[in-house]
Chains A and B, each alone.
Chain A
Amino acid sequence: MKARGFDFVAPDTTQQVCEFLLDASCESRIIAGGQTLTPMLAMRVAQPSRLIDLSGIKELGAIDVRGRGISVSASVTQSALEDWLLKNPNNPILSSILPWIAHRVIRNRGTICGSIAHADPSAELPLALVALQGKIFATALSGIREIAAEDFFIGALKTALEPSEFIQSVYFPNLNKDTTFGFQEFGYRSGDFAVVSVLVLREQHQWVFCFGGIDDVPRRFTLSKANAAQAIEFLNSLSLEITVRADPSATSEFRRHLMTSLGLRAIQQAQPQ
Protein backbone atom coordinates (compact mmCIF):
# COMPACT_ATOMS: atom_id res chain seq x y z
CA MET A 1 0.00 0.00 0.00
CA LYS A 2 2.70 2.50 -0.93
CA ALA A 3 2.54 4.91 -3.84
CA ARG A 4 5.02 4.51 -6.65
CA GLY A 5 7.67 7.24 -6.94
CA PHE A 6 6.66 10.44 -8.73
CA ASP A 7 7.94 13.95 -9.25
CA PHE A 8 6.20 16.43 -6.97
CA VAL A 9 5.83 20.07 -7.82
CA ALA A 10 4.18 22.83 -5.81
CA PRO A 11 3.77 25.76 -8.23
CA ASP A 12 3.26 29.34 -6.98
CA THR A 13 0.91 30.48 -9.75
CA THR A 14 -1.82 29.05 -11.98
CA GLN A 15 0.35 29.98 -14.99
CA GLN A 16 3.01 27.53 -13.75
CA VAL A 17 0.33 24.84 -13.25
CA CYS A 18 -0.77 25.26 -16.88
CA GLU A 19 2.82 25.08 -18.11
CA PHE A 20 3.41 21.80 -16.27
CA LEU A 21 0.13 20.38 -17.66
CA LEU A 22 1.31 21.15 -21.20
CA ASP A 23 4.61 19.32 -20.67
CA ALA A 24 4.05 16.06 -22.52
CA SER A 25 7.25 14.43 -21.25
CA CYS A 26 5.39 12.94 -18.27
CA GLU A 27 1.87 12.10 -17.16
CA SER A 28 0.79 14.75 -14.66
CA ARG A 29 -2.06 14.65 -12.19
CA ILE A 30 -3.40 17.58 -10.21
CA ILE A 31 -3.54 17.09 -6.45
CA ALA A 32 -5.33 19.43 -4.04
CA GLY A 33 -6.76 17.66 -0.98
CA GLY A 34 -5.83 14.23 -2.32
CA GLN A 35 -8.53 12.40 -0.34
CA THR A 36 -9.41 10.28 -3.37
CA LEU A 37 -6.18 10.42 -5.34
CA THR A 38 -3.89 9.39 -2.45
CA PRO A 39 -5.61 6.01 -1.89
CA MET A 40 -5.67 5.49 -5.66
CA LEU A 41 -1.92 6.09 -5.68
CA ALA A 42 -1.40 3.80 -2.68
CA MET A 43 -3.34 1.01 -4.39
CA ARG A 44 -1.57 1.88 -7.65
CA VAL A 45 -4.84 2.30 -9.51
CA ALA A 46 -3.32 5.62 -10.57
CA GLN A 47 0.39 5.86 -11.36
CA PRO A 48 1.13 9.35 -12.65
CA SER A 49 4.76 10.34 -13.04
CA ARG A 50 4.20 13.82 -11.65
CA LEU A 51 1.87 15.41 -9.10
CA ILE A 52 1.08 19.10 -9.36
CA ASP A 53 0.01 20.38 -5.94
CA LEU A 54 -2.46 23.29 -5.97
CA SER A 55 -2.68 23.78 -2.22
CA GLY A 56 0.05 26.42 -2.00
CA ILE A 57 -1.41 28.78 -4.62
CA LYS A 58 -2.95 31.70 -2.72
CA GLU A 59 -5.33 32.82 -5.48
CA LEU A 60 -7.00 29.38 -5.48
CA GLY A 61 -8.18 29.56 -1.87
CA ALA A 62 -11.17 31.89 -2.25
CA ILE A 63 -14.92 31.55 -1.76
CA ASP A 64 -16.60 34.53 -3.47
CA VAL A 65 -20.18 35.70 -3.72
CA ARG A 66 -20.50 36.38 -7.44
CA GLY A 67 -23.72 37.49 -9.09
CA ARG A 68 -26.50 35.30 -7.73
CA GLY A 69 -24.31 32.45 -6.61
CA ILE A 70 -21.01 31.46 -5.10
CA SER A 71 -17.71 30.74 -6.76
CA VAL A 72 -15.47 28.21 -5.04
CA SER A 73 -11.80 28.04 -6.03
CA ALA A 74 -9.66 24.96 -6.50
CA SER A 75 -8.07 24.55 -3.09
CA VAL A 76 -11.13 25.36 -0.94
CA THR A 77 -11.83 22.37 1.29
CA GLN A 78 -15.30 20.95 1.83
CA SER A 79 -15.17 21.78 5.55
CA ALA A 80 -14.09 25.36 4.78
CA LEU A 81 -17.20 25.81 2.61
CA GLU A 82 -19.33 24.06 5.24
CA ASP A 83 -18.13 26.55 7.88
CA TRP A 84 -18.43 29.52 5.50
CA LEU A 85 -22.06 28.60 4.80
CA LEU A 86 -22.84 28.70 8.54
CA LYS A 87 -22.06 32.43 8.42
CA ASN A 88 -23.40 33.02 4.88
CA PRO A 89 -26.51 30.84 4.62
CA ASN A 90 -27.24 31.74 1.01
CA ASN A 91 -27.08 28.28 -0.49
CA PRO A 92 -29.16 25.87 1.61
CA ILE A 93 -28.67 23.01 -0.87
CA LEU A 94 -24.92 23.05 -0.33
CA SER A 95 -25.44 23.35 3.43
CA SER A 96 -27.64 20.24 3.32
CA ILE A 97 -25.46 18.05 1.16
CA LEU A 98 -21.98 18.86 2.49
CA PRO A 99 -22.36 16.90 5.77
CA TRP A 100 -23.19 13.82 3.65
CA ILE A 101 -19.75 13.84 2.00
CA ALA A 102 -17.58 11.20 3.71
CA HIS A 103 -16.71 12.39 7.24
CA ARG A 104 -15.57 15.70 8.66
CA VAL A 105 -11.99 14.42 8.90
CA ILE A 106 -12.01 13.77 5.13
CA ARG A 107 -13.80 17.05 4.36
CA ASN A 108 -11.02 18.83 6.30
CA ARG A 109 -8.69 18.09 3.35
CA GLY A 110 -10.98 17.10 0.47
CA THR A 111 -11.78 19.96 -1.91
CA ILE A 112 -14.97 21.01 -3.67
CA CYS A 113 -13.32 21.24 -7.08
CA GLY A 114 -11.49 17.94 -6.53
CA SER A 115 -14.79 16.14 -6.01
CA ILE A 116 -16.17 17.70 -9.21
CA ALA A 117 -13.00 16.74 -11.15
CA HIS A 118 -13.15 13.16 -9.85
CA ALA A 119 -16.77 12.83 -11.08
CA ASP A 120 -17.85 9.84 -9.03
CA PRO A 121 -21.39 8.86 -10.19
CA SER A 122 -22.74 8.80 -6.63
CA ALA A 123 -20.91 11.82 -5.21
CA GLU A 124 -23.02 14.63 -3.75
CA LEU A 125 -21.27 17.70 -5.20
CA PRO A 126 -21.64 16.72 -8.88
CA LEU A 127 -25.33 16.06 -8.14
CA ALA A 128 -25.79 19.51 -6.61
CA LEU A 129 -23.87 21.20 -9.42
CA VAL A 130 -26.02 19.51 -12.09
CA ALA A 131 -29.25 20.21 -10.18
CA LEU A 132 -28.41 23.91 -9.80
CA GLN A 133 -27.10 24.11 -13.40
CA GLY A 134 -23.75 25.38 -12.17
CA LYS A 135 -20.60 26.00 -14.14
CA ILE A 136 -17.03 24.76 -14.19
CA PHE A 137 -14.21 27.15 -15.03
CA ALA A 138 -11.38 25.18 -16.63
CA THR A 139 -8.06 26.94 -16.98
CA ALA A 140 -5.33 26.20 -19.53
CA LEU A 141 -2.43 28.28 -20.80
CA SER A 142 -4.67 29.42 -23.66
CA GLY A 143 -7.29 30.84 -21.30
CA ILE A 144 -10.35 30.01 -19.23
CA ARG A 145 -13.17 27.84 -20.59
CA GLU A 146 -16.63 27.91 -19.06
CA ILE A 147 -18.34 24.51 -19.05
CA ALA A 148 -21.98 23.92 -18.09
CA ALA A 149 -22.38 21.21 -15.45
CA GLU A 150 -24.60 19.09 -17.73
CA ASP A 151 -21.86 19.04 -20.39
CA PHE A 152 -19.04 18.43 -17.92
CA PHE A 153 -19.85 14.95 -16.62
CA ILE A 154 -19.58 12.49 -19.50
CA GLY A 155 -19.16 9.17 -17.71
CA ALA A 156 -18.13 7.46 -14.48
CA LEU A 157 -14.93 9.28 -13.45
CA LYS A 158 -14.91 10.91 -16.91
CA THR A 159 -15.25 14.63 -17.53
CA ALA A 160 -14.99 17.10 -20.39
CA LEU A 161 -11.72 18.41 -18.96
CA GLU A 162 -8.82 18.39 -21.46
CA PRO A 163 -5.40 17.09 -20.30
CA SER A 164 -4.07 20.66 -20.56
CA GLU A 165 -6.79 22.02 -18.27
CA PHE A 166 -7.54 22.05 -14.57
CA ILE A 167 -10.57 23.27 -12.64
CA GLN A 168 -9.80 26.74 -11.33
CA SER A 169 -13.22 27.24 -9.77
CA VAL A 170 -16.80 26.03 -9.81
CA TYR A 171 -19.89 28.21 -9.65
CA PHE A 172 -23.01 27.22 -7.71
CA PRO A 173 -26.06 29.43 -8.47
CA ASN A 174 -28.26 30.25 -5.47
CA LEU A 175 -31.84 29.06 -5.38
CA ASN A 176 -34.55 31.44 -6.48
CA LYS A 177 -36.44 32.96 -3.58
CA ASP A 178 -39.57 30.92 -4.21
CA THR A 179 -37.78 27.60 -4.77
CA THR A 180 -37.91 24.92 -2.10
CA PHE A 181 -36.03 21.64 -2.14
CA GLY A 182 -35.64 18.22 -0.57
CA PHE A 183 -32.52 16.04 -0.37
CA GLN A 184 -32.42 12.35 0.54
CA GLU A 185 -29.62 9.83 0.40
CA PHE A 186 -29.19 6.15 1.15
CA GLY A 187 -25.79 4.62 1.90
CA TYR A 188 -24.91 1.45 3.81
CA ARG A 189 -22.89 3.22 6.50
CA SER A 190 -22.38 6.78 7.67
CA GLY A 191 -19.86 8.44 5.36
CA ASP A 192 -20.11 5.85 2.59
CA PHE A 193 -20.82 6.78 -0.98
CA ALA A 194 -24.52 6.99 -1.75
CA VAL A 195 -26.22 3.99 -3.30
CA VAL A 196 -28.85 6.47 -4.50
CA SER A 197 -29.25 10.15 -3.69
CA VAL A 198 -32.17 12.35 -4.71
CA LEU A 199 -32.41 16.11 -4.91
CA VAL A 200 -35.83 17.60 -5.69
CA LEU A 201 -36.27 21.29 -6.46
CA ARG A 202 -39.75 22.79 -6.43
CA GLU A 203 -39.44 25.90 -8.55
CA GLN A 204 -42.21 28.36 -9.39
CA HIS A 205 -43.20 26.70 -12.66
CA GLN A 206 -41.49 23.32 -12.59
CA TRP A 207 -40.16 20.43 -10.56
CA VAL A 208 -36.52 19.36 -10.95
CA PHE A 209 -35.55 15.80 -10.06
CA CYS A 210 -31.87 14.96 -9.79
CA PHE A 211 -30.52 11.50 -9.03
CA GLY A 212 -27.05 10.36 -8.05
CA GLY A 213 -25.90 6.73 -8.15
CA ILE A 214 -28.42 5.50 -10.73
CA ASP A 215 -26.27 6.08 -13.81
CA ASP A 216 -22.67 6.94 -14.73
CA VAL A 217 -23.42 10.65 -14.31
CA PRO A 218 -25.91 12.61 -12.19
CA ARG A 219 -29.27 12.64 -14.01
CA ARG A 220 -31.58 15.66 -14.12
CA PHE A 221 -35.26 15.61 -15.14
CA THR A 222 -37.86 18.37 -15.15
CA LEU A 223 -41.63 18.40 -14.96
CA SER A 224 -43.46 21.64 -15.59
CA LYS A 225 -46.71 22.92 -14.15
CA ALA A 226 -47.51 20.03 -11.83
CA ASN A 227 -48.76 19.58 -8.30
CA ALA A 228 -47.20 17.25 -5.73
CA ALA A 229 -49.46 14.33 -6.67
CA GLN A 230 -48.46 14.63 -10.32
CA ALA A 231 -44.81 14.92 -9.27
CA ILE A 232 -45.11 11.61 -7.38
CA GLU A 233 -46.76 9.98 -10.39
CA PHE A 234 -43.95 11.31 -12.64
CA LEU A 235 -41.35 9.93 -10.20
CA ASN A 236 -42.96 6.48 -10.19
CA SER A 237 -43.11 6.20 -13.96
CA LEU A 238 -39.58 7.62 -14.31
CA SER A 239 -38.18 4.94 -12.01
CA LEU A 240 -39.66 2.26 -14.27
CA GLU A 241 -38.75 3.81 -17.61
CA ILE A 242 -35.10 4.78 -17.35
CA THR A 243 -32.08 2.47 -17.31
CA VAL A 244 -30.68 2.15 -13.81
CA ARG A 245 -27.25 0.71 -13.16
CA ALA A 246 -26.55 -2.40 -11.11
CA ASP A 247 -23.35 -3.29 -9.29
CA PRO A 248 -22.39 -5.61 -6.41
CA SER A 249 -23.59 -3.03 -3.87
CA ALA A 250 -27.16 -2.81 -5.22
CA THR A 251 -29.32 -4.29 -7.97
CA SER A 252 -31.12 -1.99 -10.37
CA GLU A 253 -34.44 -3.07 -8.80
CA PHE A 254 -33.23 -1.87 -5.39
CA ARG A 255 -32.03 1.37 -6.90
CA ARG A 256 -35.42 1.91 -8.59
CA HIS A 257 -37.05 1.30 -5.22
CA LEU A 258 -34.75 3.88 -3.63
CA MET A 259 -35.52 6.38 -6.40
CA THR A 260 -39.21 6.32 -5.54
CA SER A 261 -38.99 5.98 -1.76
CA LEU A 262 -36.29 8.63 -1.31
CA GLY A 263 -37.89 10.73 -4.05
CA LEU A 264 -41.23 10.70 -2.22
CA ARG A 265 -39.57 11.94 0.97
CA ALA A 266 -37.68 14.60 -0.99
CA ILE A 267 -40.98 15.80 -2.58
CA GLN A 268 -42.52 16.04 0.89
CA GLN A 269 -39.46 17.96 2.14
CA ALA A 270 -39.77 20.33 -0.81
CA GLN A 271 -43.36 21.29 0.06
CA PRO A 272 -43.45 24.91 1.22
CA GLN A 273 -44.09 25.14 4.96
Chain B
Amino acid sequence: MRYIKSGQLEKISLIVNERRISADCRSNTTLLDFLRTNLSLTGTHAGCEHGVCGACTVSIDGHAVRSCLGFACQFEGAVITTVEGLSKTSELSDLQLAFSRHHALQCGFCTPGFLAIAEDLLSRSPTPSEDEIREEVSSNLCRCTGYAGIVRAIHEVSIMRTNSKQEG
Protein backbone atom coordinates (compact mmCIF):
# COMPACT_ATOMS: atom_id res chain seq x y z
CA MET B 1 0.00 0.00 0.00
CA ARG B 2 1.30 3.45 -0.95
CA TYR B 3 0.49 6.49 1.18
CA ILE B 4 1.57 9.97 0.04
CA LYS B 5 1.07 12.79 2.51
CA SER B 6 -0.13 16.13 1.20
CA GLY B 7 2.84 18.25 0.09
CA GLN B 8 5.30 15.37 0.37
CA LEU B 9 7.54 14.46 -2.57
CA GLU B 10 7.18 10.85 -3.61
CA LYS B 11 9.14 8.94 -6.22
CA ILE B 12 7.09 7.23 -8.90
CA SER B 13 8.37 4.85 -11.56
CA LEU B 14 6.82 4.42 -14.97
CA ILE B 15 7.76 3.83 -18.58
CA VAL B 16 7.55 6.90 -20.81
CA ASN B 17 8.32 6.56 -24.53
CA GLU B 18 10.01 3.21 -23.90
CA ARG B 19 12.32 4.63 -21.23
CA ARG B 20 12.08 3.57 -17.60
CA ILE B 21 11.73 6.73 -15.54
CA SER B 22 11.71 7.51 -11.82
CA ALA B 23 10.89 11.02 -10.70
CA ASP B 24 9.44 12.88 -7.75
CA CYS B 25 5.91 14.24 -7.68
CA ARG B 26 3.36 15.44 -5.15
CA SER B 27 -0.01 13.81 -4.58
CA ASN B 28 -1.79 16.62 -6.44
CA THR B 29 0.59 16.78 -9.43
CA THR B 30 -1.44 15.92 -12.52
CA LEU B 31 0.10 13.54 -15.02
CA LEU B 32 0.08 16.49 -17.44
CA ASP B 33 2.21 18.66 -15.15
CA PHE B 34 4.43 15.68 -14.34
CA LEU B 35 5.17 15.09 -18.04
CA ARG B 36 5.71 18.75 -18.88
CA THR B 37 7.49 20.02 -15.77
CA ASN B 38 9.16 17.03 -14.13
CA LEU B 39 10.12 15.19 -17.34
CA SER B 40 10.38 18.27 -19.65
CA LEU B 41 8.19 16.51 -22.23
CA THR B 42 6.47 19.71 -23.34
CA GLY B 43 5.00 18.20 -26.51
CA THR B 44 1.94 17.32 -24.41
CA HIS B 45 0.02 20.59 -24.25
CA ALA B 46 -1.82 22.10 -21.30
CA GLY B 47 -5.09 23.56 -22.58
CA CYS B 48 -8.19 23.72 -20.43
CA GLU B 49 -6.86 21.46 -17.65
CA HIS B 50 -10.30 20.05 -16.92
CA GLY B 51 -10.82 17.46 -19.60
CA VAL B 52 -12.70 19.44 -22.22
CA CYS B 53 -10.20 20.37 -24.95
CA GLY B 54 -8.16 17.18 -25.31
CA ALA B 55 -4.82 18.90 -26.07
CA CYS B 56 -3.16 16.93 -23.24
CA THR B 57 -4.27 13.49 -24.46
CA VAL B 58 -1.54 10.81 -24.29
CA SER B 59 -1.51 7.04 -24.59
CA ILE B 60 -1.54 5.10 -21.31
CA ASP B 61 -1.20 1.31 -21.53
CA GLY B 62 -2.38 1.54 -25.14
CA HIS B 63 -5.45 3.72 -24.49
CA ALA B 64 -5.86 7.44 -25.18
CA VAL B 65 -6.36 9.27 -21.88
CA ARG B 66 -6.55 12.92 -20.82
CA SER B 67 -3.33 13.52 -18.86
CA CYS B 68 -4.95 16.47 -17.02
CA LEU B 69 -7.63 14.14 -15.61
CA GLY B 70 -5.31 11.97 -13.55
CA PHE B 71 -2.71 12.46 -10.88
CA ALA B 72 0.81 11.21 -11.63
CA CYS B 73 0.79 9.03 -8.50
CA GLN B 74 -2.10 6.99 -9.98
CA PHE B 75 0.12 5.83 -12.84
CA GLU B 76 2.85 3.93 -11.00
CA GLY B 77 4.13 1.27 -13.43
CA ALA B 78 2.10 2.55 -16.41
CA VAL B 79 3.40 2.54 -19.98
CA ILE B 80 2.95 6.00 -21.44
CA THR B 81 3.51 7.29 -24.97
CA THR B 82 3.55 11.03 -25.59
CA VAL B 83 3.87 12.80 -28.94
CA GLU B 84 7.66 12.68 -28.50
CA GLY B 85 7.47 8.87 -28.61
CA LEU B 86 5.18 8.44 -31.64
CA SER B 87 8.12 7.85 -33.98
CA LYS B 88 10.96 5.51 -33.14
CA THR B 89 13.33 7.22 -35.58
CA SER B 90 14.21 10.87 -36.17
CA GLU B 91 11.60 10.93 -38.97
CA LEU B 92 7.95 11.73 -38.35
CA SER B 93 5.50 8.81 -38.03
CA ASP B 94 3.14 7.94 -40.90
CA LEU B 95 0.28 9.63 -39.04
CA GLN B 96 2.28 12.79 -38.42
CA LEU B 97 3.28 12.95 -42.10
CA ALA B 98 -0.36 12.53 -43.14
CA PHE B 99 -1.37 15.38 -40.80
CA SER B 100 1.25 17.52 -42.53
CA ARG B 101 0.14 16.51 -46.06
CA HIS B 102 -3.55 17.16 -45.39
CA HIS B 103 -3.07 20.45 -43.52
CA ALA B 104 -4.57 18.80 -40.47
CA LEU B 105 -2.96 21.44 -38.30
CA GLN B 106 -2.37 25.13 -38.43
CA CYS B 107 -1.20 26.40 -35.04
CA GLY B 108 -0.50 22.84 -33.86
CA PHE B 109 -1.56 23.34 -30.25
CA CYS B 110 -4.20 20.60 -30.37
CA THR B 111 -2.20 18.23 -32.60
CA PRO B 112 -0.53 16.01 -29.93
CA GLY B 113 -3.99 15.18 -28.57
CA PHE B 114 -5.43 14.44 -32.01
CA LEU B 115 -2.50 12.14 -32.80
CA ALA B 116 -3.14 10.23 -29.55
CA ILE B 117 -6.87 9.70 -30.20
CA ALA B 118 -6.20 8.80 -33.84
CA GLU B 119 -3.76 6.06 -32.79
CA ASP B 120 -6.30 4.78 -30.24
CA LEU B 121 -9.04 4.65 -32.90
CA LEU B 122 -6.81 2.92 -35.48
CA SER B 123 -5.72 0.32 -32.92
CA ARG B 124 -9.37 -0.63 -32.26
CA SER B 125 -10.81 -0.09 -35.69
CA PRO B 126 -8.15 -0.36 -38.44
CA THR B 127 -10.54 0.75 -41.22
CA PRO B 128 -12.87 3.31 -39.63
CA SER B 129 -15.64 4.95 -41.64
CA GLU B 130 -15.71 8.73 -41.97
CA ASP B 131 -18.55 8.83 -39.42
CA GLU B 132 -16.47 6.82 -36.95
CA ILE B 133 -13.51 9.15 -37.42
CA ARG B 134 -15.73 12.22 -36.98
CA GLU B 135 -17.28 10.75 -33.84
CA GLU B 136 -13.81 10.05 -32.45
CA VAL B 137 -12.30 13.47 -33.17
CA SER B 138 -15.36 15.22 -31.70
CA SER B 139 -13.77 14.65 -28.28
CA ASN B 140 -10.97 17.13 -29.01
CA LEU B 141 -11.10 20.81 -29.89
CA CYS B 142 -9.35 22.26 -32.95
CA ARG B 143 -10.02 25.91 -33.64
CA CYS B 144 -7.96 26.24 -36.85
CA THR B 145 -8.76 23.47 -39.29
CA GLY B 146 -12.48 22.77 -39.12
CA TYR B 147 -11.49 19.10 -38.76
CA ALA B 148 -11.71 18.29 -42.50
CA GLY B 149 -7.95 17.79 -42.89
CA ILE B 150 -7.74 15.79 -39.66
CA VAL B 151 -10.46 13.40 -40.86
CA ARG B 152 -8.73 13.02 -44.26
CA ALA B 153 -5.34 12.37 -42.65
CA ILE B 154 -6.67 9.64 -40.34
CA HIS B 155 -8.62 8.08 -43.19
CA GLU B 156 -5.56 8.00 -45.45
CA VAL B 157 -3.36 6.40 -42.77
CA SER B 158 -6.00 3.73 -42.14
CA ILE B 159 -5.87 2.80 -45.84
CA MET B 160 -2.05 2.95 -46.00
CA ARG B 161 -1.63 0.74 -42.94
CA THR B 162 -4.22 -1.79 -44.12
CA ASN B 163 -2.57 -2.00 -47.56
CA SER B 164 0.93 -2.43 -46.17
CA LYS B 165 -0.38 -5.14 -43.83
CA GLN B 166 -1.94 -7.01 -46.77
CA GLU B 167 1.26 -6.70 -48.81
CA GLY B 168 3.45 -7.71 -45.86
User: Which residue numbers of A lie inside 8 Å of B, CB to CB?
Assistant: 1-12, 16, 31, 34-35, 38-39, 41-43, 49, 51, 53, 55-56, 79, 102-106, 108-109, 189-191
Contact = CB atoms under 8 A, between A and B. Distances in A.
A56 B12 CA distance: 14
B162 interface: no
B28 A55 contact: no
B5 A55 contact: no
B41 interface: no
A7 B68 CA distance: 19
Given A3-B28, A6-B27, A8-B71, A105 B4 contact: no
B63 A5 contact: no
Given A9-B4, A34-B69, A108-B65, 8 more contacts: A7-B3, A7-B6, A12-B1, A34-B74, A42-B30, A104-B136, A106-B139, A190-B135
A185 B57 CA distance: 27
B5 A7 contact: yes
B149 interface: no
A106 B66 contact: yes
A155 B55 CA distance: 34
Nearest to B26: A5
A2 B51 contact: no
Interface in B53-75: 54, 57, 63-66, 68-71, 73-74
Contacts of B64: 104-105, 108
B140 to A, nearest CB: 8
A105 B139 contact: yes
A104 B139 contact: yes
Contacts of A38: 30, 50-51, 68-71
A191 B138 CA distance: 8
Nearest to A9: B3
Given A38-B51, A43-B50, A190-B138, A105 B2 contact: no
